[in-house]
Structure 1
Amino acid sequence: MLETSARLLQLLSLLQLRRDWTSGDLAERLGVSTRTVRTDVGKLRSLGYPVEARPGVAGGYRLAAGTAMPPLVLDDDEAVAVAIGLAAAARGALGAEETALTALAKLEQVMPAHLRRRVEAVREATSVVPGGDPAPDLEVLGGVAAAIRSGERLRFRYAAHDGAESSRHTEPHRLVRWGSRWYLLAWDLDRVDWRVFRVDRIALRPPTGARFRPRVIPEDAVLRHVVARVGRATWRYRATILVHAAPEDVVAKVDSPLEVEAGGPDVSRLEVGSDDPDRLALWIAQLGWDVEVLEGPELAAAFDRLAARFRRAARGTPEQEPEPASAPTSR
């Protein structure tokens, strides 16, 4: 009984992971026969989970929205509260935004229409005091995340950093959050290459319905690709610095997937960039190691300004301009 219950939970998790599954794929993932899959699907239906079947040789199953919430130990009010909370978490900076977004997409997939309308009403009636970073468009994020999860091709209008717009036809692969911004790594079908898109510059078009087989790319390669493309395309200021610390220590402390090279014994060399050299200088200073600027006059000037500001703070008074020397008095 315990084995069967655990398998039902695993089956439910798989059905929530992507839109369509064949009987053979589910049987292989669960380590059972297709007959057992059919039996387990029947048990999920008896519990209220709306699992749809597709007929034919390549038929399979999908988890659809039903007329009532399935028994997730949540009533309607709780389901709405969870959805609103996940939406708020997806907009925040707590380090779990993508997880919250994925969970929200799973929840809304099985949420009946009248509850989705309640969630949307709360979103539309809520204002957020603006801060330093713009909040992501949750509708666009959710649409992109759903396309990634279901393996569906994505069409959208994209505005480049210079304002030029283009139409894109892609196979979305991964959402990456870097700082306050979200990026989409996708295979551009027209350009036959990987491309990185800022999500806040995407205007989604209606779903294509066309499926694709995801290309295999390791997670660390995803981050390196996004960092390389974003740095080249969007940094206004770039610099090369030496950090007087071992590369492994720098990698462990730097909260960004930057490439760090050995520059000598206990010395690391890395290329950094930003739209604001003053913020970049402050971030580097917070690492707590001695730094040398090899290339990047804007960053060097920012360090001078930061040092002067710290000196004024240490004295507790604003720095005063030196008074001109007085002329000698005649007697």
Structure 2
Amino acid sequence: MGAAVRHRHVLVTEMLRADGSRPETGDDDFLPARRIEPHHLVVWAGRWYLVAYDLGDHQWRVHRVDRLRPRPTTHRFSPRQPPYDDLAHFVMSSHDRGDTPAAWQYTGQARLNLPASIVARWAPSGSVVEHLDTEHCRLTIGAWSWAGIAGILATFDTELTDIRPPELAHACRRIAYRLAIVADTERNP
């Protein structure tokens, strides 16, 4: 599925039941195969989701990857502008996604210089990991405080950029200052 996103190839997909089986024609769960344009892969709450444009009903959709049976095509498509700038919020708030959005007092995000597959393995539950390219992803996480989010981001031990909102960037600077003081105290007792 990642190749179809990267190469901008239309997918023909069948939707599977929660148990992985195919619904039969006449079942209430039956959905005919759909033609979709796969735009982004996002991880949220330990699951991969596909943000795609449905060519049948001309709607943006969020699909659980484990409930899709995709068949790639060679038909290319031009990138579309997603309806939301914040894909993490779009995935978390999608009503038909099949999960419950996390409710944190504070939510922030940063671009990490790590592949989404690595970050997804270690990101806390309820986080959203957005694949940007083979070496970068965007992590959206919630916590009880801005310092809590900054601390979680620091556990990834990589370069962080595009830190949002400004309150989170400020919390990162405060923590860096505190840690620098500790390091100086240990060096010069």
TM-score of the pair, normalised by structure 1: 0.28
TM-score of the pair, normalised by structure 2: 0.47
Q: Which has the higher helix share?
A: 1
Q: Taking CA–CA contacts closer than 8 Å with sequence separation of 6 or more, which of the two structures ends up with the larger relative contact order?
A: 2
